[in-house]
């Protein structure tokens, strides 16, 4: 067996620590199957976390993870639903559990996958109707209220700019290094590491480039390195450390709250959706938007087109009677 999975979960006020060794089969699956045999660290950790939570749940129920029945998986699904976990998240969690047992079957550790056919449920809502994005006025308000007094303020302005004006994912902002900023061409750009370690260029607007350069100059003046991690902490305890994804969430949420725009579902990814919808509204071509956002399938990008078209072509506007 390989290393012990250690993922804590609070269940009814008690911290549950799974003590079952992770299956060699699952480790093999992570590194061979996931991401076409080139699983990123983040992907491996995400999968390991979900399996760890499943194992913790099994231990709470006094069930050996290698002896579970389909009914156990169905009970797990029911408890996820009762806890308010949305359909898409339930589907992801159960998919990982299912893949975990697929690997165990392939390694002949069990005869049958107990999670086979157990799905998270159907979400019939159109993707464009689930999307959370700011309006043009909302984004203008957010940007207009960004403070500009401290080095942390300068950093935050650049972070918001990259998410809302260039569509970078939170993880992509987290991964940026000073070496990612390329000024050796007529059109400055960032080398962005996206999903599956896929690299793309994010060509920069003049104002975004200025925000990045202002922050870099500020770091240099403060005696902080201008190599390695681009966005770092300026708190007393973590000065100079790369900003975590959670810290990026907190930064964006803070400024959304200050602009009175914070509500459920509106966070870092909402700024990426804002970029997509406002770019389409402004006339950007869908294929160019696909490349800028790092989508592998243009159908994903088309969600933004459908969202904008639905708003523009509201059938109610064709009824010429006033209320």
Q: Check residue 17 and give its pLDDT.
A: 44
Burial string for 68-94 (b: 16+ CB within 10 Å, else e) reads: beeebbeebbeebeeeebebeebbebb
Give the three-class secondary structure for 173: helix
What separation, in Å, do the N-terminal and C-terminal C-alpha atoms of the chain show? 70
Among the candidates 102, 124, 146, a domain finishes at: 124
CB 110 within 8 A of CB 66: yes
Listed range (17-21, 260-264, 294-298) with the worst mean pLDDT: 17-21
Rounded to 10 degrees, what is the CA torsion of 306, 309, 313, 314?
60
pLDDT per residue over 52-64, tens digit each?
A: 899 889 989 999 8
Residues 100 and 233 in one domain: no
Q: Check residue 5 and give its pLDDT.
A: 39
pLDDT per residue over 288-298, tens digit each?
A: 999 999 999 99
Residues 253 and 166 in one domain: yes
Residues 163 and 286 in one domain: yes
Boundaries of domain holding 111: 9-124
pLDDT per residue over 263-279, tens digit each?
A: 988 999 999 999 999 99
Q: Check residue 37 and give its pLDDT.
A: 55
Residues forming a β-bridge with 14: 11
Residues 143 and 289 in one domain: yes
- Measure Cα distances from 46 to 34, 93, 193 in Å: 11, 10, 18
Among the candidates 75, 106, 124, a domain finishes at: 124
The helix (run of H) or strand (run of E) holding residue 14 is strand 14-16
Residues 56 and 23 in one domain: yes
Q: Check residue 265 and give its pLDDT.
A: 82
Q: Check residue 33 and give its pLDDT.
A: 61
- Say if residue 186's pLDDT is above 60: yes
What's the chain's average pLDDT? 87
Among the candidates 124, 157, 174, a domain finishes at: 124
- Number of independent structural domains in the chain: 2
Cβ neighbours around 32 below 10 Å, total: 13
- Mean pLDDT value of segment 184-203: 93
**Residue 45 belongs to domain with CATH number:** 1.10.150.130
Q: Check residue 4 and give its pLDDT.
A: 37
pTM given for the model: 0.76
């Amino acid at each position: 067996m390989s290393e012990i999975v250690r993922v804590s979960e609070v269940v009814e006020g008690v911290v549950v620590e799974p003590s079952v060794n992770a299956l060699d089969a699952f480790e093999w699956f992570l590194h061979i199957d996931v991401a076409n045999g080139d699983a990123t660290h983040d992907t491996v950790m995400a999968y390991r976390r979900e399996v760890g939570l499943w194992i913790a749940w099994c231990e709470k129920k006094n069930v050996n993870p290698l002896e579970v029945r389909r009914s156990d998986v169905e009970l797990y699904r029911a408890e996820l639903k009762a806890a308010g976990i949305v359909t898409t998240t339930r589907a992801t969690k159960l998919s990982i559990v299912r893949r975990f047992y697929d690997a165990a079957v392939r390694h002949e550790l069990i005869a049958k996958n107990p999670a086979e056919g157990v799905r998270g449920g159907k979400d019939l809502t159109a993707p464009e109707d689930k999307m959370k994005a700011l309006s043009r006025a909302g984004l203008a308000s957010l940007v207009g209220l960004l403070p500009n007094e401290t080095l942390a303020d300068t950093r935050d302005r650049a972070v918001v700019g990259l998410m809302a004006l260039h569509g970078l994912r939170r993880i992509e902002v987290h991964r940026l290094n000073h070496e990612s900023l390329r000024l050796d061409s007529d059109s400055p750009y960032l080398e962005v590491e996206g999903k599956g370690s896929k690299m793309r260029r994010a060509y920069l607007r003049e104002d975004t480039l200025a925000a990045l350069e202002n922050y870099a100059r500020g770091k240099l003046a403060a005696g902080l390195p201008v190599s390695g991690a681009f966005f770092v902490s300026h708190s007393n305890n973590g000065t100079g450390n790369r900003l975590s994804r959670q810290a990026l969430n907190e930064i964006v949420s803070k400024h959304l709250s200050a602009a009175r725009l914070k509500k459920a579902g509106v966070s870092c990814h909402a700024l990426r959706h804002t970029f997509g919808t406002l770019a389409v509204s402004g006339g950007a071509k869908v294929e160019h938007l696909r490349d800028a956002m790092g989508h592998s399938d243009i159908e994903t990008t088309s969600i933004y087109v459908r969202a904008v078209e639905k708003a523009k072509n509201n059938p109610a506007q064709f009824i010429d009677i006033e209320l």
